[in-house]
Amino acid sequence: MNKGKLLVFSAPSGSGKTTIVRHLLEQEDLNLEFSISCATREPRGQEVDGKDYYFISWEEFKKHIKAEEFVEWEEVYTNNYYGTLKSEVERIWAKGKNVIFDIDVSGGLRIKSKFPQETLAVFVKPPSVDELKRRLKQRSTESDEKINMRIAKAHVELATAPQFDKIIKNYDLDVAKAEAYDLVKEFISGF
Ligand code: 5GP
């Protein structure tokens, strides 16, 4: 199979990485397709099964682990498991496309270590932890308890930024989007 590239976007929850990833997916010249992860949490808001995530039970998730079908998986938050299936990468590469991932920092670094040549790992940095909190509250899709859980994790995640190939500061969304586009364009063009 012809291998495409792997574009990993990782960041603490609320950093704006999902918005950046969606923007990149709209740029046809980048030839990207979104890697749909498996998740054991409930769908939020407008999320659609098979589009945003494959929402599966913990029982099903365990079967995938046992069968070694994940490229990487992680208990991102207590009792919330997320994972990237090998079949997902193969499905997208078989179409001649590049794969873009919106995954947590540990998963992102694991993909990089498994596919060092093919991967560009980008860390999206929020202006501050206070700003993250504000954005998560504004999104109002989660309880205060869940928001606090995400903030606690953000401190640990921010410390991993230097391990990524590139860091984008998301202080101004339009600037961050343009910077992300340039990085991906350059990487897939092989410069
Ligand atoms: P959310 O519940 O907000 O959709 O996602 C929580 C976190 O899990 C986010 O940082 C998201 O990027 C990450 N995530 C989503 N899919 C995967 C995956 O397949 N593997 C890993 N390691 N993290 C993921």
User: What is the distance between the alpha carbons of residues 103 and 128, in angstroms, rounded to a whole number?
Assistant: 20
Local confidence band at 135 (pLDDT 50, 70, 90 cut-offs): confident
| CB of 120 shorter than 6 A to ligand 1 | no
Residue 101 near residue 111 (C-beta atoms within 8 A): yes
pLDDT of residue 134: 87
User: What is the distance between the alpha carbons of residues 184 and 30, in angstroms, rounded to a whole number?
Assistant: 7
Query: Within the chain, where are the H helices?
Result: 17-25, 58-66, 86-94, 105-114, 129-139, 144-158, 173-188
| CB of 107 shorter than 6 A to ligand 1 | yes
Q: Is the pLDDT of residue 123 over 70?
A: yes
Domains, the chain: 6-185 (3.40.50.300)
Using the mean position of ligand 1's atoms as its centre, give its distance from the Cα of residue 102 in Å. Answer: 7
Q: What would the pLDDT profile of 64-75 be if each residue is shown by its tens digit? A: 999 999 999 999
Instruction: Give the pTM.
Output: 0.92
User: What is the distance between the alpha carbons of residues 73 and 81, in angstroms, rounded to a whole number?
Assistant: 7
pLDDT of residue 131: 87
| CB of 103 shorter than 6 A to ligand 1 | yes
Q: Is 62 left (phi over 0), alpha (psi -120 to 50) or beta?
A: alpha
Mean pLDDT across 21-46: 96
pLDDT of residue 17: 92
Q: Which of 9, 68, 70, 10 is nearest to 38 (CA)?
A: 70
